[in-house]
Chains A and B, each alone.
Chain A
Amino acid sequence: MIAFLLRRLGQSLLLLLIVSVIGFAILHLAPGGPLSQFAAGGDMTQADLDRIAEQLGLNRPLPVQYVEWLWRMLSGDWGVSYRDQQPVLHIIASHLGATLELMLTSTLLAMVIGAWVGILGAIRRYSLFDSLATIGAMIALSIPTFWFGLVIIYVFSVGLGWLPAGNRYTMGDGSFLNQVHHLIGPCIVLALVSTAVWSRYMRSSMLEVVNQDYIRTARAKGVPERQILMRHALRNALLPMITITGLHVPTLLSGALVTETVFTWPGMGRLFLDSISYRDYPVVMGILMFTAVLVLLGSLLADLLYGVADPRISRSGR
């Protein structure tokens, strides 16, 4: 177990290094730079722009900049935002809450609904409900998230006036109810895809368990069907499901970015988008590394849980 963990840790660090090289290269090779935003107004001269580029160290060769960035990163210094003059970790931390709130609630929603639909689908296999659920899940996976967001806003905010069209809360009203009210729209939009994924996996996971010998034995012994499902099948089907959540992290992060954009939600996704368009290199790199760590943690967790749930899974890994 320890050896497995150590090897995974080593692999993860190597991956993070590769991620940082790819990310750094893509960002810095892209045309434009953090000073572009100042050039359009016409009141800063080229001499001003060049001087600031020099002062920020943007003129140095890329490998030098990378090594310096990496070195500081290793010593725990994530750098300072070009746009905000604040430490990168501080900026990420201040946007993280909003994103986590959105991701956790929507995951919870997706788990509950997805599991329920999946289980029901497995029990009543090939029923009308099962077919509709299957079709629904496929459509949910095919809708562009941002478009679904627009439709939700159009129907529930513009049309019916039930939900606010964006924001995390009303200015000056920080009450819990107000926040929940604002959370509903983005939460539904972000949960759509996860719900579909969950219901599909839950269904096949349940089907696999139901056909296994010990369930057949239990059934033969006359254990009530309901008890079989709840006590035996569900428990065994749920465990692998948890791993899905781990592997789902990158998708969820992408979805959060789009959802935050549509609902003007002040989270990490918005921050990333703003930072990309301002070419705020330290912040973009910070977010990329942060999400890479999240993704790796997610998959590590998935592996570990999978191992716990089913000792037959070998840890030979790849």
Chain B
Amino acid sequence: MSGVPFTSTAEPALPPAPGFWNSPGLRRFRRHKLAVFGAATIVFLTLACIVGPWLLPYTDTFIDIRNRFAPPFSGPHVLGTDPLGRDILARLLMAGRISLAVGFSAMAIAMAIGIVVGMVAGFYEGALGAALMRFVDAMLCFPSIFLLLAISALISPSVPSIILLIAMTSWMEVARVVEAQIRSLKTREFAQAAVSFGASNRRIMVRELLPNAIAPIVVAATLNVAHAILAESYISFLGFGIQPPTPSWGNMLDSAQSYLTSAPWLAIIPGAAITLAVTSFNFIGDGLRDALDPRMDGQ
């Protein structure tokens, strides 16, 4: 389910890595074959989605009624056509632009909210921190799909609002991770030293604590992209997704169920694209976790 990629971040909190670009980490990442595979796939997908549509003879919205429901690998349309005769490959690539953009943008917003809330809550603790974290807990009491569904009713289904919607329902885990990190980091010597030098709270948070918490944040960010792409497909499936004619991997699937017997490729192709992209991000996240965890050094 859409909440799932996060279950992995819930694993025991990582101690801070000394720095991100240290070579042992990079080496460990490279040693992680699946992560490399994931990264390569994402690069490939991204390039294909950016460049691909220019190379194809059809656009994603060109309606070719005579060739509707053409099966894949059977004619000029490589991956077949949809109920209006539009080229599925062209739509898949354009949809990829949207879905990847939704994934990255939602992640960026969710990270921003999560980091700020987590940092403030972790740094100040006390009443403010408790209030913020109780709010986070309350948001996490809603199963994510329930929250998505309830909020999607609030907004009209455009690309920016879907991004906001996903971000609004996926920042909580990030806040938790960051809060725990900051709370433990601020008792460490370097933080105490900064305090004694009279640095401002903001400076301590942003310059001293945050960089040291970067490892779990990067992992969470990667998994967050995976989560956002999945979430977009769920919203579409439940009928609240991005509106036609703009394609997204999610809304390419939303009417697929009724064509499952007659044109199964309508369901299989976009679903496979989602699975591939999400799996790749999860592989990267997994690799990053190993790479950034110094405990893995000895193994």
Contacts and interface: CB of A to CB of B under 8 A. Distances in A.
Chains A and B touch each other in the complex, with CB atoms below 8 Å apart: yes
B200 interface: no
A296 B2 contact: no
Given A150-B257, A154-B267, A15 B134 contact: yes
A184 B59 CA distance: 42
Interface centre among B10, B226, B275 (most CB of A within 10 A): B275
A138 B282 contact: yes
A253 B7 CA distance: 15
Contacts of B264: 154
Interface string B199-241: 0000000000000000000000000001000100110011000
Contact of B253 (A141, A147, A288): A147
B195 interface: no
A150 B256 contact: yes
Interface stretch (B20-28, B71-79, B148-156): B148-156
A160 interface: no
A14 B133 CA distance: 12
Contacts of B133: 318
B55 interface: no
Given A26-B151, A254-B146, A276-B150, A150 B260 contact: yes
A113 to B, nearest CB: 17
Interface string A271-294: 011001000000010011001100
Interface centre among A14, A204, A247, A318 (most CB of B within 10 A): A318
Interface stretch (A50-58, A59-67, A255-263): A255-263
A143 interface: yes
Interface string B239-283: 000000000000001001100110010011001001100110111
Nearest to B179: A318
A258 B1 contact: yes
The DSSP consensus for interface residues of chain B is: helix
Contacts of A16: 141
B145 A257 contact: yes
A291 B150 contact: no
Contacts, number: 155
A141 B143 contact: no
A142 B282 contact: yes
B108 interface: no
A237 to B, nearest CB: 15
Contacts of B145: 253-254, 257-258
For chain A, the bracket of interface size reads 35 or more
Nearest to A135: B34
A261 B141 CA distance: 22
A153 to B, nearest CB: 7
A127 interface: no
B144 interface: yes
Given A144-B233, A150-B256, A154-B260, A30 B143 contact: no
Interface string B24-56: 000000000010000000000000000000000
Nearest to B138: A18
Interface string A240-252: 0000000110111
Which 6 pairs from chain A and chain B are nearest by CB? A142-B278, A254-B145, A18-B138, A147-B271, A142-B279, A253-B143
13 contacts: A134-B34, A138-B34, A142-B281, A154-B267, A200-B8, A251-B3, A251-B4, A251-B7, A252-B1, A262-B257, A273-B149, A273-B238, A287-B146
Interface of A: 11, 14-16, 18-19, 22-23, 26-27, 29-32, 134-135, 138-139, 141-147, 150-151, 153-154, 158, 193, 197, 200, 204, 247-248, 250-255, 257-258, 261-262, 272-273, 276, 284, 287-288, 291-292, 295-296, 318
Interface of B: 1-5, 7-8, 10-11, 34, 133-135, 137-146, 149-151, 153-154, 226, 230, 233-234, 237-238, 253, 256-257, 260-261, 264, 267-268, 271, 274-275, 278-279, 281-283, 286
